[in-house]
Amino acid sequence: MKGKALVTGGAGFIGSKIAERLIDDGREVVVYDDMSTGHQHNVPKEAGFVKGSIDNYGLLRKNLKDVEVVYHFAASASVIVGVEQPVFDLENNVKGTVTLLNAMRDTGVKKILFPSSSTVYGENKIPMKEDMQLNPMSPYAVGKIADEFYLRSYYNLYGIEPVIFRVFNAFGPNQDLNNTKQGITGFVIGCIMQNRPFPLHGDGKQTRDYIYIDEVVEAFMLAEEEKRAVNNPMNLACNTQTSLNDWVELIEEVAGKKAKTQKGNPFRQGDVMHYRADVSKLGKVLGFKPKANFEGQLEETIEWAKEHLKKHK
Ligand SMILES: NC(=O)c1ccc[n+]([C@@H]2O[C@H](COP(=O)([O-])OP(=O)(O)OC[C@H]3O[C@@H](n4cnc5c(N)ncnc54)[C@H](O)[C@@H]3O)[C@@H](O)[C@H]2O)c1
């Protein structure tokens, strides 16, 4: 597929990087975003831009004209917001996805790529494998499971091909540096670079499977073309397990500066203690193995953050 792509949530972290890559690959791209957590400066200049909500069926329908594929990244990307406002999470993330699917059905758009989440596994056996029993521990996780199944049902009903990645902990350029409720790596870097205290929740022994944004984007690009990726949810991670304490230490080393860590805050509700993905399916289906060269990848992220903070104070 090389036709026009609609990137919902394309003013956010992952969506903007997807849009950038599609444009680099010579594709026509329209970004569709309500700007609730996104930023105009993330939207590539070469992309068309529509400000609109994912629950606006009419506007979606209008903008799906001539679109060949939808990259659907518009969502509230926060476990914390979901715990605080479960009905908002449900409406934004699940009703929004179903509204988009209806608009795709009614305009004949036949492909959608979607980021589900590691949170669908909850506290579970490590490494987490796609076929294991899911154990959602937050409304956000429930919403992602519902989305996965809505996507799969619209495939069975209408032949709209879904590609579903369960993305673990993404980091890299364009991640928000100031949002305390999502994206821990960007937030820690933002605290360090702006001399702001970093509130550590829990004891820092919680582990995550981090993955660099370019590797996330690469997997999505490979999957758009791969028939075996259709209706076949896949983990997207590196099969590594790093504690938050070690991750902050590595960021400090690369940045050459200590974080002002504030300890003693309670573990956040809905959070999961340990994550690590089995990534054998990713290898088998896409022939893709992320490099997990964290030091170099954090260097690139911090370089970007420095430049970004000069331009967007
Ligand atoms: N960042 C990660 O590590 C990660 C991991 C797993 C899954 N995901 C998923 O990837 C997607 C993108 O996450 P992100 O980290 O880039 O977050 P982000 O907040 O940077 O991007 C989300 C974008 O969607 C937009 N948006 C939100 N609600 C909308 C609505 N109702 N209508 C239109 N636009 C709306 C926001 O303005 C924002 O630009 C989300 O679905 C998230 O759940 C992210």
Q: Is the minimum distance from the CB of 167 to ligand 1 under 6 angstroms? A: yes
Within a 13 Å sphere around the CA of 72, how many CA atoms are in the beta-carbon half?
Answer: 36
Q: State if residue 92 touches ligand 1 by the CB under 6 angstroms criterion.
A: yes
User: What is the predicted pLDDT for the residue at 312?
Assistant: 85
Give the DSSP per-residue string, 52-97: --TT-HHHHHHHTTTEEEEEE--S---HHHHHH-HHHHIIIIIIHH
pLDDT for position 10: 98
Atom of ligand 1 nearest to the CA of 10: 39
Neighbour count for residue 197 (Cβ, 10 Å): 10
User: Which residue's CA is the nearest one to ligand 1's atom 42?
Assistant: 77
For residue 74, the ligand 1 atom closest to its alpha carbon is 24
The H or E element that residue 102 is part of is helix 96-107
pLDDT for the residue numbered 32? 98
* Active-site annotation holds for 275: no
Rama region for 108: left / alpha / beta (φ>0; ψ in -120 to 50; rest): left
The structural domains of the chain, with segments of one domain joined by +, span 4-170+210-236, 172-208+240-277+294-311
Any atom of ligand 1 within 6 Å of the Cβ of 179: no
CATH number at 4-170+210-236 = 3.40.50.720
- Residue 12 CA to ligand 1 centre (angstroms): 6
User: Beta strands 29-33 and 4-8: pairing type?
Assistant: parallel
Predicted confidence at residue 1, as pLDDT, reads 59
Low-confidence ranges of the chain (pLDDT < 50): none
Distance 9 CA to ligand 1 centre (A): 6
Give domain 172-208+240-277+294-311's CATH architecture.
Alpha-Beta Complex (3.90)
Instruction: Write the pLDDT tens digit of every residue in 20-75.
Output: 999 999 999 999 999 999 999 999 999 999 999 999 999 999 999 999 999 999 99
Q: How far is the CA of 75 from the centre of ligand 1 (A)?
A: 4
Please report the pLDDT score of residue 270 as a whole number.
85
Cβ atoms of residues 32 and 50 within 8 Å: yes
Q: Judge whether 4-170+210-236 and 172-208+240-277+294-311 match in fold.
A: no
Best CA proximity match to 235, nearest among 116, 135, 145, 153 = 116
- Pocket test of ligand 1: the residue of 7, 17, 20, 36 to mutate, having most ligand atoms within 8 Å of its CB, is 36
d(CA 250, CA 172): 14
Ligand 1: which residue has its CA nearest to atom 11? 73
Report how far ligand 1's centroid is from the alpha carbon of 93 (Å).
9
What is the identity of the amino acid at 276?
R
Catalytic, out of 140, 154, 210, 212: 140
Mutate to test the pocket of ligand 1, among 73, 142, 275 (most ligand atoms within 8 A of CB): 73
Ligand 1 atom closest to 36 (CA): 37
Amino acid identity of residue 98, one-letter, is V
Predicted confidence at residue 150, as pLDDT, reads 98
75 lines ligand 1 (CB under 6 A): yes
How far does residue 70's CA lie from ligand 1's centre (Å)?
Answer: 14
To the question of pTM greater than 0.85 for the whole model, the response is yes
Supply 37's token pair.
């957590």
Q: How far is CA 142 from CA 82, 90, 217, 232, 270, in A?
A: 10, 9, 24, 19, 11
- Reported as type and span, the H/E element at residue 17 is helix 13-24
